[in-house]
Amino acid sequence: MPDADLEVAEKVVIFQKRVADLTDLALSRFVARARRAAGLKGMVDVLVTSNAEMKILNRRFRGKNQATDVLSFPSGADDPRQGFAGEIAVSAEFAAQNARALGHTCAHEVKILVLHGVLHLQGYDHERDHGEMARRENQLRIGLGLSSGLIERTLDTTSSGGRPTARARRERPPSAPPRRHS
């Protein structure tokens, strides 16, 4: 088996909620490309789920009782899985809503959200890095053939006085120690 196929086989992609025109294999391959492009070492698991499940995760890990579009859970120093970077959860419903509003497919939107999550797993934090994550996301999305990035369009809608269409958060599982940002 070629290395790229082995790499894809080592990832876990779980669709609790299906997305039209997006297969497990296609998403696994995109995750591998995004991870390599971002320089993220280690495997990434992805859960594509409902707003209801995202609300539960957001409440449990962030104390926010609302659904969100993407959550990232970097592996902690005490994680027993060698070569594991973390987990990303994506709301299929938010992806579908954003895709309709932005004129592209839901599969395309899921990839935009996954790229955003990969950058958080890499250690970027758009709430504190003075645009560094936004610049990197823009660079990577162009290289990966994706349309406007999550941060880019959130800034566009916020600066125009409109309500942001996408909200992204960076989170850690309860086993991971908090990481300080400098």
pLDDT digit string (tens) for 16-46? 999 988 999 999 999 999 999 999 999 999 9
104 exposure class (CB count in 10 Å sphere: 0-12, 13-18, 19+): middle
> Is residue 180 domain-resident?
no
Averaged pLDDT score across all residues of the chain: 80
pLDDT of residue 78: 72
| Percent with pLDDT over 70 in the chain | 74
Q: What is the dihedral of CA 134, 138, 139, 144, to 10 degrees?
A: 130
Residues counted in the chain: 182
Number of domains making up the chain:
1
> Is residue 108 domain-resident?
yes
Mean per-residue pLDDT, 146-166: 52
Domain span holding position 8: 3-169
Reading the block at residue 21, the tokens are: 């025109």
Per-residue pLDDT reduced to its tens digit, 38-78? 999 999 999 999 999 999 999 999 999 999 999 999 998 77
- Taking the C-alpha atoms of residue 108 and residue 27, their distance in angstroms, rounded to an integer, is 10
Give 86's strand partners: 44, 74
Per-residue pLDDT reduced to its tens digit, 114-132? 999 999 999 998 888 888 9
- Taking the C-alpha atoms of residue 112 and residue 61, their distance in angstroms, rounded to an integer, is 22
Instruction: Give Rg (Cα) of the chain.
Output: 15
> Is residue 175 domain-resident?
no
CATH code: domain of residue 69 = 3.40.390.30
